[in-house]
Structure 1
Amino acid sequence: MSSNCCVFKTPIILNGHNRQAYVPDAFSIGPRHYGQIHSKGTQKLKLKYLEGLIHHSPNPVTRLVELEEAMTEIKLETHECYGGPVIFSGEEFVKILVLDGCLIIELFWKDVDEVERDEDDPIFIMSCMLHLLYLALILQENQVPWLVLDSFFNLTRAANETKSLSRLAIEFFGNMFSSDAPSMDRNLFFGKDLSE
């Protein structure tokens, strides 16, 4: 197994005990569960988020090409991030990760109100959809490696944007358990201030 591996395949013995703890119900993220029947209904929503992200650019077609090229450049490194067999490779692997990576980046922007939400966006008007997405994004096999998200974030963020991808992720997942904004106080993470 590659030392870059960060998205592991669940051992069969664990998966058999509680399938729901490892298999997504509505949103397949990444190549592991892509195309399964239970997640086909959310593919249109993913496409809508991809279109939203590329339309922040003055030239959406060029932006999409840039995202696909960026993903192609890191394709081999990204493939090594997945432990166990991944049935997709090549062009299809790139397309899956562009679609799902863009969903996550656009979702993070919408979550902090940096990007306008559509009035009919089911993720934000139906609490069950956001809940399903939270659950999908924390499943062990249902992941997009950080290097993909970081690449897409750097390509699509505004030149004057001060928030980091880490900050957006912490804010998004912090909202999963609380309506209060998550603290970025170093003392909460590391004990006393290391600069003392």
Structure 2
Amino acid sequence: MELEMEWMDKINEEVKNNGHDEKEQWRKHSIYKIPSQITDLNEKAYKPRAISFGPYHNGEEKLKAMEEHKHRVLVHFLKRCKKPIELLFQCLDQVAQELRDSYKPLDLIWTNDTPKFIQMMILDGCFILEFLRVHNSEIPFDDYGENDLVFGKHGNFHVLPFVECDMLLLENQIPMIVLHILSEFAGEGDHHELNMKIINLLNPIFLDHASTLLNEKIIELGKCMHILDLYRKTLIQEPSHTTPTPKITRAEKRGEDYSINDASARKLQESGIHFEKSKTSSLRDFWFSGGVLSLPRLIIDNKAEYTFLNLMAFEHLHNGAGNEITSFILFMDPIVDSAADVSILNGKGILINTLGTDETVAELFNSMSKEMPIACDEKINKVTEDIYRFCKKPWKRWRASLIETYFRNPWTMVSLVVGIIFFVLTIVQTIYTILSFYHDC
């Protein structure tokens, strides 16, 4: 009976608050435990393989080997800063509740033990900051030495690629404010310089394209919640150059569906559409005009699947994040349907395949969009409508039908050519016979 009374008192208290605390709490979340309906499709894509950052995978047996290196890195960090650990602890203690509120959900072990939580943030944050500093350093291996197991030659080849991949997992994030505080504590530049170090590691192509307007481009990214959020914003940065913009038609305003689910790169090419590489690698730098479909360059390597799936999971779970990544992957799914499509796009410099065979890349795109909810995107809808209308022109359909029927198989093509020659010879022979008849008369 006492337990029932406690439960009812709790409910009454929540009713009195009228959900105000709940609404405020939702606005603070930015790092999420991914639900099973997403992870069940590809569980490995969401789990760290080398190192844990944050509370969700802290202490896992397979990741414990890196814990001693976190402590070692912290000593290097403090020695270089020449400041006591107590001062650093105080800096993070002031924002401890804000850091905890970033996680949804958060186990009670971290909620009830603030010192333990701050210790984790310091260890993980220092490791990330040192990782970024060494990667961006002009001095090889810096103060860690050439034989360092993590930051030396051996670690550079065998360890750091896995760490880089683990930094882009949604469940493996720490709030960006931790890195800001640590960076200020070490006197190693402002927020924009920190962002530049992260981008230079994870998306250096962004810096290449933005070199002329670098500071403006970094500032345009705005406030970022964590590294995955920053990386996502560099991927969807709107291109500065002007691209053709299709007009919104009455049909589109009514919400008519212009599906191109059966429009692979091969079929689009056969319908008269040409592919070309966009000027930048921004996933927003795509357009269709005059029979030309321009697409950004995508490097498909061994971390592409994990990265895209975690980006899409973030968009799925974080209210207000947007759906640009999800929309783009769903847009590319029918275009990259088979190995032949990968070969076409690779030949145009759009897909850079470092993963394996063309079949592997096609399977990757097909699997990433599996059971993903349809994400509405105005720009993609416009491009899709233009492609749909282009392919629906009668002469385009006849051309595609001719290619599909007679030019898909080389033997069929040979038979067609032989048939045409035979038909022409028959006509010539008939004309010759008729002329001979009149001549004899």
Q: Would you say the 8 A contact 1:5–1:83 is kept in 2? A: yes
Equivalent residue for 2:163, pick from 114, 118, 133: 133
Q: Structure 1 residue 11: deviation in Å?
A: 0.8
Corresponding position of 1:157: 187
* 1:55-112 C-alpha deviation (Å, 9 max, x unpaired): 11234xx1x2122111111110011111113342311111000000010111111111
Shift of 1:181: 6.6
1:3 CA displacement:
0.8
What TM-score do the two structures reach when normalised by structure 1?
0.84
Per the alignment, in what secondary structure is the counterpart of residue 197 of structure 2? helix
- Pick the structure with more strand per residue: 2
Residue 146 and residue 182 in structure 1: after superposition, are their counterparts in 2 closer, same or farther (change >3 A)?
farther
Greater than 6 Å deviation, 4+ residue runs: none
Deviation string, structure 1 residues 14-62 (Cα, Å, up to 9, x no partner): 2222221111122011111100101100001111111111111234xx1
Q: Is the 8 A contact 2:56 2:171 kept in 1?
A: yes
| Cα distance in 2 for residues equivalent to 1:184 and 1:44 | 38
Residue 169 to residue 182, structure 1, CA distance change in 2 (3 Å) = farther
Residue 135 of structure 2 aligns with which residue? Answer: 111
- The separation in 1 between residues aligned to 2:86 and 2:76, in whole angstroms, is 15
Deviation for aligned residue 1:155: 0.9
Q: What is the Cα deviation at residue 116 of structure 1? A: 3.4
What is the rounded CA distance, in whole Å, between the counterparts of 1:153 and 1:57 in structure 2?
Answer: 10
Structure 2 gap ranges (5+): 1-24, 218-233, 242-441
2:48 aligned residue (17, 24, 39)? 24
Q: How does 1:18-97 map to 2 (within 5 A)?
A: 18-59=42-83, 62=84, 64-86=85-107, 87-89=109-111, 90-97=114-121
Q: What amino acid does structure 1 have at the position aligned with 2:150?
A: I
Q: Quick one: which amino acid aligns to residue 66 of structure 2?
A: T
Count of aligned pairs between the two proteins: 185
Stretch moving more, 9-18 or 38-47: 9-18
Match of 1:168 in 2: 197
**Structure 1 residue ranges without an equivalent (≥5):** none
Aligned to 2:258: none
Distance in 1 of aligned mates of 2:208 and 2:95: 31
**Higher RCO (CA-CA < 8 Å; seq separation 6+):** 1
Root mean square deviation, CA, Å: 2.4
Q: Which has a greater percent of helix?
A: 2
TM-score (norm 2): 0.39
Distance 1:49 1:181, change over 3 A: farther
CA distance in 1, matches of 2:185, 2:55: 22
Q: Are 1:136 and 1:142, in contact at CA under 8 Å, matched by a contact in 2?
A: yes
| 3-state SS of 1:191 partner | coil
Q: 1:184 to 1:69 in 2, by over 3 A?
A: farther
Secondary structure in 2 matching 1:38: helix
Aligned partner of 2:110: which letter? F
Q: In the aligned structure 1, how far is the partner of 2:41 from the partner of 2:173?
A: 21
Paired residues for 1:168-187 under 5 Å: 168-174=197-203, 182-185=208-211, 186=213
CA separation in 1, counterparts of 2:134 and 2:86? 23
More deviation, 144-153/112-121: 112-121
